[in-house]
Amino acid sequence: MTTTMERPSLTVRTPAPPPRRKRRPRHLVYGVLVVAAVLTVMPFVWMLLGSVKPDAEIRADPGGWLPHAITLENYRQWFGALGIGTFLRNSLIVAAVTVLGNLLFCSMVGYALAKLSFPGRRVLFVLVMVVLMVPGVVTFVPLFVVVARLHLVDTYAGLILPFLTSPTGVFLMRQYMRSIPDEMIEAARIDGAGELRIFARVVLPLCGPPLATLGILQFLASWNNFLWPLVVAQSRDRYTLPVALSLYSTGEQATDYGLLLAGSVLVIAPIVALFVALQRWFVQGVATAGLK
Amino acid sequence: MTVAARRRQGLVAWGFALPFVAVFGLFMLVPLAGSVLMSFTDFRSSDVTTPWAVDLVGLDQYTALLGDPRFRRALLNTGYFVLVGIPLTMTVALALAMALNSGINRFRTAFRVGFYTPVVTSVVAVAVVWRFILQPDGLLNRLLATAGITGPDWLHSTVWAMPSLIAMAAWRNMGTLMVIFLAGLQALPSEVTEAAAADGASAWQRFRHVTLPLLRPTLLLGGVLISVVYLQFFEEPYVMTRGGPLDATLSATYYTFDQFGFGRYGAASAASYVLFVVIAAVSLLQFRLLRARD
C-alpha cells in the first residue's frame, strides 16, 4: 500500500544516505530503534496475551507472558452477557455522525471564509481562532449546563451535537481552500453554475487531503472520547465503548482481570486496524496540521 | 460586483456558514461566555433549571480557590508533571525522529507505526494494562527483580505515583511529537549538515550547532502543542490513581472536575480560568523565548 498513494510532501522518505557513512552506526541505530519499539508495543502484546487467559491464571501470575491455557471465554462474555454490541453500536453511531457533520459543515463554512466575501467574515474567523485556543476544560461545565437545559442528557444528540463541528476543522478547510485558484471558481460562475454547484462540483473534489485528515482526526477523537460521554451517557443504552469499559473496571467486575483485558482489546482493535490501514494519512494529518 | 450581486453573495455565504454558526454559537460561544459569568457567581448544580437566580459573588470564587490548599497542591502537581514530562517527552520524541531520519530504509514504516500506536489508543483501555504493569508483582517489578531491585508499589506510593503517570503520558504522546519532528527534520536542507561534516564537525557538534538551531521553529510548535495538552492533564490520574494517593496526582483539571462532581459549578469555572491563564501565559512565554533568538 505504500506506493499506491500520492506521497505527501512532508513525509517524503529521506534520500539515499551519504555514501561515505560507515556501517557500524547503522547497526547501533537499528539496535536502539528495536529496543524502543519493543518497549513501546509491549503493553499491547501483553494485553492481547492476557485477554485469552482464564482469570485465575492472571491472578496467580500477574507478571506472566504466555498463556498456559487459551480461552475465548472473556470475549464470549463481552459479546454475550455484557452486551458489548450496544456499546459498539453507540460508539460507531456517534463517531460516524460526528465525522460526517465535520466534513460537511466545516468545509461549507471553510468555503465561505476562504472564497466568498460577506459582512462579518473577519469577526467569524477571529471567533473561530479564539475558540481554537480555549482549552476544553474551560467550557466543559457550562456546556453540560446548556445540554442539560436542552434536555439532551442521555441522548445521542447530547453525545454528538457539541462535536458536530470543530474550530480546528474550519481552520484546516479554510487554509486549504484558500490555495484553490479563484480563476477556477470564476470560470464556473461564468458558465452559470450556482454557488452550491461550484462548492459541490469544483471545490470539494479538490479537497481530498484536508478532508481525509479531518475525518481521521475526528474519528479518532470521537472513538476515544471519554470524559464527555461519561458525563452525558447515563443509561446502559447510551454508553460508548470507553465509558462501558471504565465503568466495568471500577464496578463489580473490577476484579475479573481477563474480562478487563479482553474489553481493552475490543476497544483498541478497531482503531489500531484503521490506523495501520491508513497510517500514511494519519501521520500526514498530524504533521501538516500540527494537531492531534 | 454590483450591489445586488454582493448582497446575494453575502446571503449565500451566510447560508454556507449557517450550520456551523448554529452549533458553534450554541455549544461553544454560549458555554464560553457562560463560563466567564459562572466563575463570578455561586452557581451550583441545583441552579441548572433557574440559571438567572444565582447570586453574583464577585471575585469570591477566585479568592476561595487560591486559599484552598488542595487547589494549590493541584497547581504544584500540574507544574511537576509539566516540568518533568515535557522535556522527557520531547527528548524521547526527538531521539526517535533523529534515529528514523538517519538514513535507514528498512522497516521505517513499521517503526513509525509502532511508536505512533499509543497515540491512537483509548486511555481507558491502555490504563487497564498499565495498572497491571505497575502493580507490586507486575511486569515492571518482575523486570527490576531480575536486576536485583525490589520495585515499589508504584501507583500507591506518594513518591512514585506521579513519575509513573509521567512515564505513561510520555509513552502516549511521544508519537505525536515524533511525527512533527520528523517532518521538520526532513524539511532541513541536507547540504548544511554535509558541509559541517566535511569541515570535520563530529556527530554531536552537527546536532548541537546545526540541526538543533535549524529545527527551532519545529521544536517551538511541538513544545507549545504538548504543553497545552500536559497543562490540562486529567485522564492519566482519573483512570490510574483517582488523583491519589493523598492527592499526590491531583491535577488542576482533576480539581475542576471534582468541583463539577460536587455540584459547585461556579468554583469549577473559576478553577478552569486560572488554568486557562496559566496555559496562555506559558504559550506566550515559549513563543518569546524561542523567537527572541531568531
State ipTM: 0.83
Q: What are phi and psi of B56, to 5 degrees?
A: -75, 130
- Coil/strand/helix, residue B135: coil
Contact at CB, B116 and A282, closer than 8 angstroms: yes
Contact at CB, B260 and A144, closer than 8 angstroms: yes
Give the burial class of B155: count Cβ atoms within 10 A of its Cβ; 0-12 exposed, 13-18 middle, 19 or more buried.
buried
Q: Which residue(s) pair with A80 in the sheet?
A: none
Does pLDDT of B291 surpass 70? no
Contact B266, B57 (CB under 8 A): yes
Span B67-92, average pLDDT: 94
Among B16, B251, B286, the strongest candidate for a mutation testing the A interface, having the largest count of A CBs within 10 A, is B16
Dump pLDDT digits (tens) for B43-54.
888 777 777 777
Nearest chain B residue to A284 by CA distance is: B179
Delimit the CATH 1.10.3720.10 region(s) of chain B.
69-290
Q: Which residue(s) pair with B41 in the sheet?
A: B56
Contact at CB, A275 and B116, closer than 8 angstroms: yes
Cα R_g (chain A), whole angstroms = 24
| CB nearest A37 (choices: B115, B225, B273) | B115
What residue ranges of chain A have pLDDT lower than 70?
Answer: 1-25, 251-255, 286-292
Chain position carrying cell 475479573: A256
The rounded Cα B196 to chain-centroid distance in angstroms is: 36
Contact at CB, A135 and B29, closer than 8 angstroms: no
Dump pLDDT digits (tens) for B168-182.
999 999 998 998 898
Measured in angstroms, the CA of B292 and the nearest CA of chain A are apart by: 22
Chain position carrying cell 466545516: A106
Contacts of A39 (CB under 8 A, 6+ apart): none
Contact at CB, B117 and A44, closer than 8 angstroms: yes
Contact at CB, B34 and A17, closer than 8 angstroms: no
> Which chain B residues touch A35 with a CB distance below 8 Å?
none
CATH topology of domain B69-290: MetI-like fold (1.10.3720)
Dist. CA A249–CA A256, nearest whole Å: 9
Dump pLDDT digits (tens) for A5-30.
444 444 444 555 555 544 556 788 88
> Which chain A residues touch B142 with a CB distance below 8 Å?
63
Nearest chain A residue to B145 by CA distance is: A63
CA proximity to A6, closest of A282, A285, A288, A281: A281
- Coil/strand/helix, residue A3: coil
Cα R_g (chain B), whole angstroms = 24
**What pLDDT is stored for residue A2 in this prediction?**
39
Does pLDDT of B67 surpass 70? yes
Contact at CB, B116 and A224, closer than 8 angstroms: no
